[in-house]
A and B are shown apart, each in its own frame.
Chain A
């Protein structure tokens, strides 16, 4: 019933408007492949791994950029080739460490948001806030309980701000 009614309504609308030489697409129900594709994106593990990989990529880029800006202390004593080698090593080291940090951050954030949203069955900014709190707390857990709380609050505020920023453009 659901598949015939929208297509009939869409075909009727398409017939009417095609006589007026306007292009209105008939409503198309998603095919089985489209549903499977969307279902893959609904899986929490897949989402968090993809987010982790994207975070790693972002970390590599950031490490390259900021590593290139770093000036060595003994710049006067090194030849040009030594300076280039030193800068390249610096960039590589910073890239890897940044990539690890950002990958973990992306993975934890995405996994937490996915789990919370599935449990609440609602699409809200509360999911983003809780996920931000978990991520900030997990990253700052080595500094003790006070650092964990501050990290949680700060990262939650940051992720809610970013979410609101992206939402405004939708």
Chain B
């Protein structure tokens, strides 16, 4: 009983640590996404306060591509690690 309680405590800490890392990863992803798409899509001469149509569609496309890339690269990375560990 005591060993099981200790193991689950350790597991809890592990899970908490992983959740924290995951949260940091998500926050970093969001910040990078915002910065990248802002620098790419919005002109430096701010002529008005609202986004015009070109900037709107640029941001839509930028976010979509960034998201796809961020989902695709972990798959490729996992594949390459798997191949490396097999070979």
Q: Which residues of A contact B (CB under 8 A)?
A: 1-2, 38, 42, 114, 117-118, 120-124, 127, 167, 170
Give the top 7 A-B pairs by smallest Cβ distance, nearest first: A121-B58, A123-B54, A121-B57, A122-B54, A117-B54, A123-B52, A118-B57
**Which B residues, 49 to 63, have Cβ-Cβ distances below 8 Å to chain A?**
50-58, 61
B50 & A170 in contact (Cβ 8 Å cutoff): no
* Chain B, residue nearest A41 (CB): B53
Contact of B55 among A114, A123, A127, A170 (CB under 8 A): A123
B58 & A122 in contact (Cβ 8 Å cutoff): yes
Q: Which residues of B contact A (CB under 8 A)?
A: 27, 30-31, 34, 41, 43, 47-48, 50-58, 61
Give Cα A58–Cα B43 distance, bound, in whole angstroms. Answer: 33
A118: B residues at CB distance < 8 A:
53-54, 57
Contact of A121 among B31, B34, B54 (CB under 8 A): B54
Given contacts A121-B41, A121-B54, A123-B53, contact A2 B34 (CB under 8 A): yes
B31: A residues at CB distance < 8 A:
1
A121 & B52 in contact (Cβ 8 Å cutoff): no
**Once A and B bind, how many residue pairs between them come within 8 Å at the CB atom?**
35
Most A-side CB within 10 Å, residue of B27, B54, B56: B54
B48: A residues at CB distance < 8 A:
170
A117: B residues at CB distance < 8 A:
52-54, 57
B27: A residues at CB distance < 8 A:
1
**Sample of 6 further A-B pairs with CB below 8 A, known A124-B54, A127-B54:** A1-B30, A1-B31, A2-B34, A38-B50, A123-B53, A170-B47
A122: B residues at CB distance < 8 A:
54, 58
5 CB contacts below 8 A, A to B, read A121-B54, A121-B55, A121-B61, A122-B54, A123-B55
A167: B residues at CB distance < 8 A:
47
A121: B residues at CB distance < 8 A:
41, 54-55, 57-58, 61
